């Protein structure tokens, strides 16, 4: 072993307090970046995950000009499901309806709500929205309806006077129910939907609530109702039409695979005005602002790491000052200024390596904890936690380099000590 | 001016004492011979080599290869063991050939064969000074320079250290230049140089001081 590395190690070991302080400074800097990454990248990925799982799939197809795809969904789905790497595809249709509940024959609540029409058989292979039905079951029957949690509350009159009513719903409230009657719609209750068909005629139908859908994070259908797509088509008089086709790829598929399949699809249907987007493209507008936020948070984390570099610089200056006599002795017996420089830079490298190791271990510990516990904050969106080895390695390497750079000035100062004066230091 | 009009030469194998009162300039003289300090005028020749035009790196290399140092406080590196301290001058010049055996042998010769792996700050002052002598000798230097090597030791230990230096000088035909203000401790030596008011005189201090320039 190089004697300078050996001596640097010994000097540090014999100054345990300084060593621990410096290593902690580096490791806490890394930990902060890792925690930031787990939380904010976790939220970002969770939003993408939910958007993909509930709304867009891995590839999302819609008509560029019209509100619905006129081409048969069966043709499109069959095309997709023949492509290797595609797990499933499903049609979806959307509309707006007036939902209405009655208690003891009296109209209790009535307001507008978005309606999603799904094909339950293909939808459960493509989306996980059915898993958000915590109470009851999905829309397997033509007259069944799954009500989002918020809608269920509103239909029960629970949000009267609250802020929710103003968010896209018609706050038309009838009856004189007081807060004592506030009880969300439950499985088994009936809800009447009024939908205006494509000819402008109101179509009314009564549904039985078979499930209540609740999701954290706002990407689900808590403020919508879900019914069978064929029922919705009938009510809209849009037989065979879909608003979109949601495509799910196999788990092994990469974003590049999604792009290739999308391009293949567009080549196969060039004259249908169809537009296809990967999840990254679909989520772009939603997440572009969020990405800036993540960049800002990361910047703050890196400033924290910069602060730890200052801590190392200070501790290294202390170490150099406490080793003035040793520097003088080494110079007297023949060590060059370069030897002294290398010795103290090696100290910085040891601190950096130990700090990077400890910080990465702590960061991985936190990441694992977040992953195992499906970390969420006060019932909000569960974080999508991934081990980003590139990021982990990059952070550790950066911390190591910073520790080394922070050691350059103290090391340079060490080389400036004259042997005779240095040896007089007690 | 610490030293003025100083000129003398020393033969190989001589055991030379530099004596003088405090502040007379004897340590400055030793530092100049050891290339730890630079004369404002004149030059130091060692082994026939003019050291006045050496760069900082060349001075370091020269000190490492040609000079051995023994200081008043031993000046071992407390972070290293006795053996590692003795190995250090060789490691600085990256000479690893048989150095371990040689270091152990010298430590045996100075009576520290059983202290090899003790930390330098865990041995006594006399042992530390012996280790410093071993460190000064390990690279086969042209000159060993000792600055008050017994100044921090009790009289018995000091006597042992003096005897050790004399023994090593004789056995290895090693040149020693020792600065001391304890002239009596060294008894008979090859040569004595007295420094007074920055000037040097051959022989013990006397009324017949003679400039050897």
Question: Residue A269 burial by CB count (10 A; 0-12/13-18/19+): exposed, middle or buried?
Answer: middle
- For B11-55, how does the pLDDT look when each residue is reduced to its tens digit (9 = 90+)? 888 999 999 888 888 888 899 999 988 888 888 888 888 888 889
How far apart CA A329 and CA B186 sit, in angstroms, is 26
Other C-beta atoms closer than 10 Å to the C-beta of A343 total 26
- Mean pLDDT on A119-135: 91
Contacts of B61 in chain A (CB under 8 A): 334, 336
Residues of B in contact with A6 (CB under 8 A): 84
Work out the burial of residue B181: count CB atoms within 10 Å of its CB; fewer than 13 is exposed, 13-18 middle, 19 or more buried: middle
Q: State which fold the B15-202 domain adopts.
A: Rossmann fold (3.40.50)
CA B207 to chain A, closest CA, distance in angstroms equals: 33
Q: Is B36 on the interface with A (CB under 8 A)?
A: yes
pLDDT greater at residue B25 or residue A247: A247
Mean pLDDT of A224-240: 93
* DSSP secondary structure letter of residue B153: S
To the nearest whole Å, the CA of A299 is away from the closest chain B CA by: 40
ipTM of this predicted structure = 0.88
Using the beta-carbon criterion (under 8 Å), do A334 and B60 form an inter-chain contact? yes
Strands A133-136 vs A202-213: parallel, antiparallel or unpaired: antiparallel
Judged by a CB distance cut-off of 8 A, whether residue A343 touches chain B is no
Cβ(A327)–Cβ(A417) under 8 Å? yes
The answer to whether the CB of B171 falls within 8 A of the CB of B203 is: no
Angle at A332 between CA A326 and CA A336, to 5 degrees: 90
Residue pair A85/A250 in contact (Cβ under 8 Å)? The answer is yes
Which one-letter DSSP state was computed for residue B3? -
Predicted local confidence at residue A233, as pLDDT: 94
* CA–CA dist A420, B76 (Å, integer): 15
| Res A176 pLDDT > 70 | no
Please provide the average confidence, as pLDDT, over all residues in chain A.
Answer: 87
Number of Cβ within 10 Å of residue B183's Cβ equals 15
CA atoms within 13 A on the CB side of A191: 37
β-sheet bridge partners, residue A117? A93, A227
With 70 as the cut, is the pLDDT of residue A167 above it?
Answer: no
What would the pLDDT profile of B69-85 be if each residue is shown by its tens digit?
998 888 899 999 999 99
Res A170 pLDDT > 90: no
Look up residue B195 and give its two tokens.
């420094």
Predicted confidence band of residue A175 (pLDDT cuts 50, 70, 90) = very low
Which residue from B37, B79, B92 is facing A335, i.e. has the nearest CB? B92
Q: How confident is the model at residue A331 (pLDDT cuts 50, 70, 90)?
A: very high
Quote the minimal CA–CA distance from B36 to chain A in Å.
6
Tell the burial category of A9 from Cβ atoms under 10 Å away from its Cβ (0-12, 13-18, 19+): middle
**pLDDT number for residue A104:** 64
Q: How far out from the chain centre does Cα A180 lie? A: 39
- What is the 3-class SS of B19-77, one letter each residue? ECCCCCCHHHHHHHHCCCCCCCCCCCEECCEECCCCCHHHHHHHHHHHEEEECCCCCCC
pLDDT attached to residue B6: 85
Lowest mean pLDDT among A79-88, A183-192, A203-212: A183-192
Domain ranges of chain B: 15-202
Q: Check whether A182 has a pLDDT greater than 80.
A: no
- Residue A218's pLDDT band (cuts 50, 70, 90): confident
Report whether pLDDT(B66) > 50.
Answer: yes
- Which CA distances in Å does B106 have to A21, B86, B138, B166, B171? 40, 9, 7, 14, 12
For residue A280, what pLDDT is reported?
Answer: 87
* Three-class DSSP labels, chain A: CCHHHHHHHHHHHCCHHHHHHHHHHHHHHHHHHHHHHHHHHHHHHHHHHHHHHHHHECEEEEECCCCCECCCHHHHHHHHHCCCCEEEEEEEEEEEEEEEEEECCEEEEEEEEEEEEECHHHHHHHCCHHHHEEEECCCCCCCEEEEEHHHHHHHCCCCCCCCHHHCCCCCCCCCCCCHHHCCCCCCCCEEEEEEECCCCCEEEEEEEEEEEECCCCCCCCCCCEEEEHHHHHHHHCCCCCECEEEEEECCCCCHHHHHHHHHHHHHHCCCCCEEEEEHHHHCHHHHHHHHHHHHHHHHHHHHHHHHHHHHHHHHHHHHHHHCHHHHHHHHHCCCCHHHHHHHHHHHHHHHHHHHHHHHHHHHHHHHHHHHHCCCCCCCCCCCCCCCCHHHHHHHHHHHHHHHHHHHHHHHHHHHCCCHHHHHHCC
Write out the two tokens for A202: 């109101």
Q: What is the pLDDT of residue A179?
A: 47
Interface test with A, best of B36, B39, B65, B89 (most A CBs within 10 A): B36
Contact A334/B80, CB-based, under 8 Å?
A: no
Q: Does A416 touch chain B (CB under 8 A)?
A: no
Mean pLDDT, residues A98-127 taken together: 86
Tokens of A423: 């040896």
Window B:146-205, CB contacts with A under 8 Å: none
Buried b (16+ CB within 10 A) or exposed e, A290-324: eeeebeebbeebbebbeebbebbbbbbbbbbeebb
pLDDT tens for each residue of B121-165? 999 988 999 899 999 988 889 899 999 888 878 888 888 889 888
In this prediction, residue A198 carries a pLDDT of 87
* A45-49, A133-137, A405-409, B101-105: segment of lowest average pLDDT: A133-137
Taking one residue from A and the other from B, the number of pairs with CB-CB distance under 8 angstroms is: 67
pLDDT in tens, B85-127: 999 999 988 766 678 888 998 899 888 889 999 999 999 988 9
Whether the per-residue pLDDT at A186 is higher than 50: the answer is yes
How many Å apart are CA A130 and CA A383, to the nearest integer? Answer: 20
d(CA A411, CA A246): 61
| Residue A420 at interface with chain B, using a CB cutoff of 8 Å | yes
Residue A273, exposed/middle/buried by CB under 10 A (0-12, 13-18, 19+)?
A: middle
* Mean pLDDT of the region A367-394: 89
Read off φ and ψ for residue A139, nearest 5 degrees: -90, 70
SS3 B190: coil
Contact residues, chain A, for B76 at CB < 8 Å: 329
Q: So what's the pLDDT on residue B211?
A: 37
């Amino acid at each position: 072993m190089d004697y300078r590395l050996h001596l640097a190690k010994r000097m540090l070991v014999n100054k345990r307090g300084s060593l621990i302080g410096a290593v902690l400074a580096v490791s806490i800097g890394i930990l902060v970046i890792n925690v930031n990454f787990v939380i904010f990248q976790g939220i970002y990925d969770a939003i993408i995950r939910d958007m993909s799982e509930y709304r867009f799939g891995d590839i999302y197809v819609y008509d560029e000009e019209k509100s619905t795809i006129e081409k048969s969904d069966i043709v499109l789905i069959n095309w997709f499901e023949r492509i290797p790497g595609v797990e499933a595809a499903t049609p979806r249709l959307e509309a707006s309806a007036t939902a209405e509940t009655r208690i003891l024959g009296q109209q209790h609540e009535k307001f507008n709500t978005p309606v999603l029409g799904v094909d339950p058989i293909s939808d459960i292979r493509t989306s996980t929205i059915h898993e958000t039905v915590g109470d009851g079951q999905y829309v397997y029957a033509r007259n069944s309806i799954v009500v989002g949690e918020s809608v269920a509350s509103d239909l029960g009159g629970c949000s009267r006077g609250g802020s929710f009513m103003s968010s896209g719903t018609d706050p038309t409230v009838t009856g004189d129910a007081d807060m004592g009657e506030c009880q969300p719609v439950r499985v088994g209750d009936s809800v009447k939907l009024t939908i205006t068909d494509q000819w402008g005629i109101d179509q009314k139908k009564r549904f039985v609530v078979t499930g209540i859908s609740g999701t954290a994070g706002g990407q689900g259908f808590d403020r919508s109702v879900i019914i069978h797509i064929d029922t919705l088509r009938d009510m809209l008089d849009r037989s065979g039409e879909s608003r979109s086709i949601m495509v799910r790829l196999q788990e092994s598929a990469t974003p590049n695979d999604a792009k290739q399949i999308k391009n293949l699809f567009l080549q196969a249907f060039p004259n249908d005005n169809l537009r296809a987007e990967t999840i990254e493209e679909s989520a772009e507008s939603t997440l572009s602002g969020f990405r800036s936020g993540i960049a800002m948070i990361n910047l703050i984390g890196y400033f924290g790491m910069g602060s730890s570099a200052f801590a190392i610089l200070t501790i290294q200056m202390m170490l150099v000052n406490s080793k003035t006599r040793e520097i003088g002795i080494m110079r007297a017996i023949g060590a060059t200024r370069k030897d002294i420089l290398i010795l103290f830079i090696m100290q910085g490298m040891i601190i950096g390596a130990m700090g990077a190791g400890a910080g990465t271990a702590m960061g991985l510990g936190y990441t694992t904890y977040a992953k195992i516990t499906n970390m969420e904050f006060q019932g909000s969106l569960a974080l999508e936690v991934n081990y980003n080895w590139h990021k982990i390695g990059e952070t550790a390497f950066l911390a190591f380099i910073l520790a080394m750079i922070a050691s350059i000035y103290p090391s340079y100062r060490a080389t400036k000590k004259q042997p005779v004066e240095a040896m007089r230091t007690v | 001016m610490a030293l003025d009009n100083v000129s003398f030469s020393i033969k190989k194998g001589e055991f030379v004492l530099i004596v003088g009162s405090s502040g007379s300039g004897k340590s400055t003289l030793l530092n100049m011979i050891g290339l730890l300090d630079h004369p404002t005028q004149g030059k130091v020749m060692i082994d026939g080599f003019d050291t006045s035009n050496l760069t900082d790196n060349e001075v370091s290399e020269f000190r490492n290869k040609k000079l051995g140092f023994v200081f008043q406080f031993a000046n071992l590196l407390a972070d290293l063991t006795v053996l590692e301290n003795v190995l250090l001058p060789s490691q600085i010049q990256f000479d690893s050939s048989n150095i371990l055996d040689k270091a152990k042998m010298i430590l045996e010769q100075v009576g520290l064969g059983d202290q090899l792996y003790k930390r330098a700050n865990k041995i006594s002052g006399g042992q530390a000074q012996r280790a410093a002598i071993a460190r000064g000798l390990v690279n086969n230097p042209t000159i060993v320079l000792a600055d008050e090597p017994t100044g921090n030791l009790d009289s018995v230990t000091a006597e042992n250290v003096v005897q050790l230096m004399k023994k090593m000088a004789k056995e290895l035909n090693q040149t020693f230049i020792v600065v001391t203000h304890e002239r009596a401790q060294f008894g008979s030596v090859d040569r004595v140089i007295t420094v007074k008011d920055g000037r040097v005189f051959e022989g013990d201090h006397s009324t017949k001081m003679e400039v050897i320039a």
